[in-house]
Structure 1
Amino acid sequence: NPAALIKSHHNVGGLPEKMKFELIEPLRCLFKDEVRELGKELGLPKEIVMRQPFPGPGLAVRILGEVTPERCEILRNADTIVVEEMKSNNLYYKIWQSFAVLLPVRSVGVMGDERTYEYTIAVRAVESKDGMTADWVKLPYKVLETLSNRIINEVDGVNRVCLDISSKPPATIEWE
């Protein structure tokens, strides 16, 4: 059964069966696009309504391999740069989601006169209406160049940046 091989959603489950409070989820049956429409109707600010989705488990699903404080710091710093560049280039509110992924791959590089052996960051940017399907965003070369240069020069432990150009399906938006 191929459907049995599809991963479960990272925001589903994980809560204890017996809790000391009643869980109330008034928007549980709404998709992200419907929640955004509701937020607009309620007059919530754009920064809240159009905020890009962030996974429930946090950065852990964007770190392939072992999750350590050092690797969390690397990813947090790289992801901050992705968000800053999307905002400064007026792309953040135009696309569905953009983020960095820390890969469990180290590669040889040269920084200054020194040989390095550091991690690789993948940049992911997708456009979607509802998150059920998504296409990768054709980011301008200048934005890609700035992202790569900033991440490599400003994030300790990274010497390579690549771009994820996979659509959903067959890929998923998040890597884990």
Structure 2
Amino acid sequence: GVLEQLTIACSVEAMTLHSVGAANQDVAAQKLHVKRQQCLDEHKRIVAADNACTQLNTRRLELENDTAFHETRNEAVRVAKLNEKLQKEEQSELAAMEVHRAGVKACGACGRCEHCHAVRQKLLGVQWRVEELGDERKGAKREQEEMTRRLKQLAEEEAELGQR
């Protein structure tokens, strides 16, 4: 790459320095010094880029091994599945309630049949679970926002390391 080309140029300049007369040696020595400095600068740039890559890979491994990150993501998936299940349950219960709304034998107190009483009690339980799930969702959302912030921070670090 660039470093090899600069190294070859240094060798050529060094040979030129020995072959030219005394009058031209100062110019050749100056050229050699410039080429050597370019070699050193390129070497430093390569080392810095290599270090940046190493840091980036270390950061990625840390994030991959971050159990809190994976637990948050898994919890969000679990909450979403539970929410979907509860919605399906609620819909089927509401459908059953509609069927019986006409009433087999109406209850004197509320005008619902016995089956509808059971359905209503079940629905109240579902509603309670949905409210409980809402609280879980808020916690998962906070954790998800924290992970989004951490991922954004990592992306910024990657961008900074990429610019060096």
**TM-score scaled to structure 2, two decimals?**
0.20
The structure having more radius of gyration, on CA atoms, is 2
Q: Which structure's residues are more often helix, by fraction? A: 2
**TM-score scaled to structure 1, two decimals?**
0.19
Q: Which structure's residues are more often strand, by fraction? A: 1
